[in-house]
Structure 1
Amino acid sequence: MPEELDFTRHFSAKYTVPEPVATAEAASDIDKLGLIGVSELKDKGYFTRIVVQNDKPARKLLDPTKIRILVVEDDDGTAMVIEKALHAYGCQTRRARNRLEIAEALAAKPFPHLVLLDVLLPDANGFDVLNRIRQHPLLENLPVMMLTSLGERKDVARGLMLGANGYITKPVPPSTLLEAIETVVGG
């Protein structure tokens, strides 16, 4: 199997993928975004930061029944609520609970249009998973939104620095989640 298709190896805990080092200017900008996010978190109970890649104009939303979302969440109850909201919207979902399931889900066709990624997983750290996605040649442009209970400024900043397209804290109203998905996933 060609190395770029060996997702199991790439997501293995034994395979080290260093995090990128931010320049002082980029770190400062990200830190400011993290501060803004924490302020919003206190006011509204959630934070969403959407990054439009490559400064592309807003895109027309894909037909919701064609949107494939990988939900990376180890808690069965939380995953059920998320997937129920996504299914009601018409999205197709696949779920991964741990490192091996993440690798298998990312290798399976059809590929997802979006990954909703928790940070606290039983045998993996979502930030590490995000970093590995961003450094994988076939996955680097895959939209990823962090969906986690970690809402401190340093967590938001780290997710954005690693290239998350959005950062949402749980619990999240389904309408907020769907709005974020509409913003990120276009046709």
Structure 2
Amino acid sequence: MMGPIPRTLKGKKLLIVDDDAASRMIMREFAKSWGCVCDEAANIHRAMEKLEPAGQARQVFDIALIHMQLGGGAQGEVLATRIRNNACYSAMILILLYSTGERGDIERLKSIGVEGYLPKPVDADLLFDCITTAMALKEDKAGSGLIITRHFLKENRKQRHPVLVFEPGSVSKKIVRNVLTQAGYAVEVAETKKEMLDDFETGRFTMVLLGTSPDDPGPDEIISRIRLIEKTKGFEKTTLLLMTQCPDDKNTAADGVDEVIVKPSPASQLLAVIEKWTRHKPNPFAVKERDADKTRIFNYGPALERAMEDKEFLFMVVNEFIKTLPEKISAIEKNFKDQDMTGLTQKAHSLRGSASTIGADAISAAALELEKAGDTGDMNAFLKKIQQVKDEFQKFTTHINTMDWSGL
């Protein structure tokens, strides 16, 4: 069991270590949206300077987000090891973000003491869930030897949505508690409305299930109190579901209630409503089959999600990518000319990551092939793949320049 999962990261100090400028830019926006104090480094040396500044007071970071393949190699693991070996940073949450996962990664990272292991590009919700879950496990000392992965978060998603229940009927109360507990949700049942409000003020709950009875004077006052507590405490909006035997109470949905459930309702219906409100919102930009070719050039939906649904910010990041890519291609070609396969592979890997981050899937795929050519030292394959990168870059640039951003 883990302790209560924090609902906010406000005020936490976060260090981003990534050699890809686009990734750092997007994660800075994540941190800003969470209310974090953020700093960043593009390599292990700059990161260590920030962690161990000479002749200055040491900066204290709560969280470090580290690109595992930093510098095209394993420098992310090296940095994580250095941090863990420093007693001053024993409490720091370490999340490693990988471009390419390999068998054995998790066991190695466990031995280092890393808390999280997520794929790049990562979206804000998944990263937030990983960080806050790691904080809860660390606080409760329940996460020793455990690494939080995407699979772990998926399996434990219901525990991330503690439900506060107030149901005046003793039988209904037991039924609701049993249904939710057996479905895997963390449930707390309040015996009185005052107890419910006191529990709600702790900020531990993402959902309130409020039951009414025919002799109840009405739910409006308690609903108003809940929303007022949210406002005064600065909580994120809590999902509030009203369970009632009075169909007329459906009108309450317009005044602070997210959905009304008419009692009695089967367990399957209750769970379906709760599931709807606890799962992540579906991507409104889901790709249609006929758009597959365009999506391969620019996968707009996931890129927009990573940009926190901010079109202007995404536009800025994409254009920065377009501006800097020719220089990156030239650097790779220079590595080839100098027969520096290590440098070539590292730069191709970095290019693949930045392209994936901003949704340039075709460029990312071509960069992967380029990286493989560097690994094998296949000169003929390199010449074909570098041209493929250039061709995909031309398609991407044309696509971006002809997009109607205002109509998206």
Give TM class, smaller chain: 0.5 to 0.7
1:84 to 4, 29, 33: 29
Aligned to 2:80: 130
1:10-49 paired onto structure 2 within 5 Å: none
- Change over 3 Å in CA distance of 1:149–1:124 after alignment to 2: closer
- The 3-state SS of whatever aligns with 1:153 is coil
1:105 shift after superposition? 1.6
Aligned to 1:149: 99
Q: Check conservation: 2:17, 2:44, Cα contact below 8 A.
A: no
Q: Following TM superposition, where does structure 1 have runs of at least 4 consecutive aligned residues deviating by more than 4 angstroms? A: none
Tell me the TM-score normalised to structure 2 length: 0.30
Alpha-carbon distance between aligned partners in 2 of 1:133 and 1:69, rounded to the nearest angstrom: 14
1:100-119 paired onto structure 2 within 5 Å: 100-107=45-52, 109-119=58-68
Amino-acid identity (%): 26
Aligned to 1:121: 70
1:141 shift after superposition? 3.2
Cα RMSD for the two superposed structures? 2.4
- The 3-state SS of whatever aligns with 2:87 is coil
1:11-61 alpha-carbon deviations (Å, 9 max, x no partner): xxxxxxxxxxxxxxxxxxxxxxxxxxxxxxxxxxxxxxxxxxxx8x42563
Alpha-carbon distance between aligned partners in 1 of 2:26 and 2:134, rounded to the nearest angstrom: 21
- The 3-state SS of whatever aligns with 1:101 is helix
Letter in 2 for 1:72: V
**Quick check: 1:180 aligned with 2:97?**
no
Tell me the TM-score normalised to structure 1 length: 0.62
- Change over 3 Å in CA distance of 1:131–1:110 after alignment to 2: closer
* Worse-matched range after superposition: 149-158 or 97-106: 149-158
Q: Check conservation: 1:68, 1:113, Cα contact below 8 A.
A: yes
Q: Which has the larger radius of gyration?
A: 2
Alpha-carbon distance between aligned partners in 2 of 1:119 and 1:63, rounded to the nearest angstrom: 26
1:140 shift after superposition? 3.0
Q: Check conservation: 1:72, 1:117, Cα contact below 8 A.
A: yes
Structure 2 unaligned segments of length 5 or more: list them.
140-408
Q: Check conservation: 2:51, 2:59, Cα contact below 8 A.
A: no
Letter in 2 for 1:117: I
- The 3-state SS of whatever aligns with 2:15 is strand
The aligned length equals: 132
Alpha-carbon distance between aligned partners in 1 of 2:101 and 2:65, rounded to the nearest angstrom: 16
Alpha-carbon distance between aligned partners in 1 of 2:92 and 2:101, rounded to the nearest angstrom: 23
2:18 to 48, 73, 82: 73
**Quick check: 1:99 aligned with 2:49?**
no
Alpha-carbon distance between aligned partners in 2 of 1:63 and 1:173, rounded to the nearest angstrom: 17
Q: Check conservation: 1:134, 1:141, Cα contact below 8 A.
A: no
Structure 1 unaligned segments of length 5 or more: list them.
1-54
Determine which structure has the larger helix proportion and give its number.
Answer: 2
- Change over 3 Å in CA distance of 1:88–1:160 after alignment to 2: same
Alpha-carbon distance between aligned partners in 2 of 1:143 and 1:154, rounded to the nearest angstrom: 21
Alpha-carbon distance between aligned partners in 2 of 1:158 and 1:172, rounded to the nearest angstrom: 21
